[in-house]
Chain A
Amino acid sequence: MRYSFLAVLALFGWSLVPTAARADLAPPPPPAKEVKFVVELDEKAKGSKLIVPQTLVNPRFRPGPGAAPKAGKEGLAVLEYEVVDDAAVEPARNRNHLLMAGVAFTLALGLGGIWIVRRGGRSAARGLALLVAAGGVLAASTVVWANAGPPRKPEEKKEAILLPVTFDGKLTLEMVRGGDTIKLVLDQEAYDAIKKGPKKPEGK
């Protein structure tokens, strides 16, 4: 009885932190923050690129096998060596896994039922009722959308401000280890375009 009370109390405590427990909803985007920023000109570059230190965005990947990058790949950016090693690339989900999970789940329910019935007595009836209730909840959970997002706050209407465009084109996004500064490396074409000055914004 005391343990049941403590368990209920603990559940209530957890329910007080709903902002932190988001179930399987996607986490909100991180808030904006100030970072160091430089623009460099590389006359020999074949294209512009934006270099972002990994720690500023911290992409997280499943670690590859082994302790460290393979020989010869130590100097590569984390994204490069992970992709080359084929370790960070999430493989297509193996459908057999779902099959295995289904079989295991069926066996769990079946063996659980047998165990409860074989125990006999009042506890067996109570256990069977619990099992049926759990089955009912599981069946119902297939039709309810438990992970629907929370209601959205009405967005404030903001007037779109059209700024002059200094450069409009493509660049390469590269993430690297080390450093605390975002670098924008311009090729000659982009640099020349920027030198010409901003274009007036086109009204929509």
Chain B
Amino acid sequence: MSSSFGEAVGLPAKRDSGALLAVSLVVIAVASALLAGWMPIVFSIATVFLFAGPHNWCEARYILGRLPARAGKLWGFFTLSFVGIVGLTAAFAYIPSYLQNTSEVLEADTLYGVWNSAFVIWIATLIWMRSRTNPRFDGGWVWPVAFLLLAGIWLHPFAFSIAIVYLHPLMALWLLDRELCRSHPDWRPTYHAGLLVVPLLLLVLFWRLHDAPSLPGDDPLSLAIQQHAGDWLLTSVSNHFLVAAHTFLETVHYGVWVILIPLIGYRSKPWELNTIPSARRGGAWRTGVLLLLLFGLLVVAVLWACFLMDYGTTRYIYFVVALLHVLAEIPFLLRMI
């Protein structure tokens, strides 16, 4: 009954659409790599301004469409997910203000080590809980791997933080794969072939830029973008490459959330609530979902206005608060496996 948004906007629903999806991904990736390599700082500013808010809204809309209407036996899993998402985000936001306090007791690397450890233990617990619900799998490997990661974290706490910065954009590609697994399994081989363009473009960026001169900007915003890409940690490569690579990955993940997933994963038009399980409960639930989505649109508009007023401060605050959506993707992805 419910046709996908892709069909609604005229995409063919046959196997050809798999090729169309892969071509779209390649076009997004190539365009992103070209722009990110050519003018990384400007492109980073533009892409965050344009897509930071909308991609969060698209993600929230997609997650709402996939969450069950009732938690049922998964109550424990969802509770731990919620506590982790909110608690870890709040703690992450508090660390900078703690460090600015002159009476601080713990140094920065200890604090980030503790945060990273809590993050890994949270994920490991969720995977372990997930392994004990259908479809079940052997989750015994979770704890050895988690402790191996913890060892790495305590050897170099900041390396793990930078790894999250670079790995987070790839989660969108993984989620898209899981969505295809559900709705269009015959598209996956073509999609997987299209995915090869991402490492290839990263290699091209590295080949062209790894020894490029340092980026010229030395204003606070340019420095913040360079530091976000981890140039203070990865000192053996040009920060031109680092900012370009990070911006490239960010833009690809924006493209996946804003273009590709809405086209294939919404199962209806974004404003139609009939494919959102909790909205189908009717009454207050339907109104609540509608208000949540409208509030999301308001936040997107406010974010754009704040970017126009003070881009630097808004970007800083956004990337702290945006951790919420990074964390939210993890339990969601686990339920998709």
Instruction: Report which of A65, A67, A104 forms a contact with B154, defined as CB distance below 8 A.
Output: A104
Query: How far apart are the CA atoms of A65 and B111 in the complex, in Å?
Result: 12
Instruction: Report which of A55, A60, A63, A97 forms a contact with B155, defined as CB distance below 8 A.
Output: A97
A44-52, A106-114, A140-148, A189-197: which lies at the interface: A106-114
* Interface flags, A46-87, vs B, CB<8A=1, else 0: 000000011100101111111111100000001000000001
Please indicate the chain A residues that have their CB under 8 angstroms from the CB of B141 in the complex.
112, 115
B108→A97 contact, CB < 8 A: no
Please indicate the chain A residues that have their CB under 8 angstroms from the CB of B157 in the complex.
97
Query: How far apart are the CA atoms of A98 and B156 in the complex, in Å?
Result: 9
Number of residues on chain A facing chain B (CB within 8 A):
41
Q: A58-B239, A94-B110, A101-B155 in contact; A20/B206 too (CB < 8 A)? A: yes
A55→B110 contact, CB < 8 A: no
Interface size class of B (residues with CB under 8 A): 35 or more
B236→A27 contact, CB < 8 A: yes
Q: A91-B107, A118-B140 in contact; A104/B148 too (CB < 8 A)? A: yes
Is A177 part of the contact surface with B, judged by Cβ < 8 Å? yes
Q: A194 to nearest B CB, angstroms?
A: 31
Please indicate the chain B residues that have their CB under 8 angstroms from the CB of A70 in the complex.
100
Q: B166 to nearest A CB, angstroms?
A: 16
Instruction: Report which of B108, B147, B232 forms a contact with A105, defined as CB distance below 8 A.
Output: B147
Q: A66-B96, A112-B144, A115-B140 in contact; A97/B109 too (CB < 8 A)? A: yes
Is B216 part of the contact surface with A, judged by Cβ < 8 Å? yes
Is B233 part of the contact surface with A, judged by Cβ < 8 Å? yes
B210→A20 contact, CB < 8 A: yes
A61→B210 contact, CB < 8 A: no
Query: How far apart are the CA atoms of A111 and B99 in the complex, in Å?
Result: 35
Is A22 part of the contact surface with B, judged by Cβ < 8 Å? yes
Q: A62-B108, A67-B316, A100-B154 in contact; A119/B233 too (CB < 8 A)? A: no
Please indicate the chain A residues that have their CB under 8 angstroms from the CB of B312 in the complex.
67-68
B218→A108 contact, CB < 8 A: no
Is B193 part of the contact surface with A, judged by Cβ < 8 Å? no
B216→A65 contact, CB < 8 A: no
Q: A67-B313, A78-B218, A100-B113 in contact; A108/B232 too (CB < 8 A)? A: no
**Which chain A residues in 107-141 approach chain B with CB under 8 Å?**
107-109, 111-112, 115, 118-119
B210→A65 contact, CB < 8 A: no
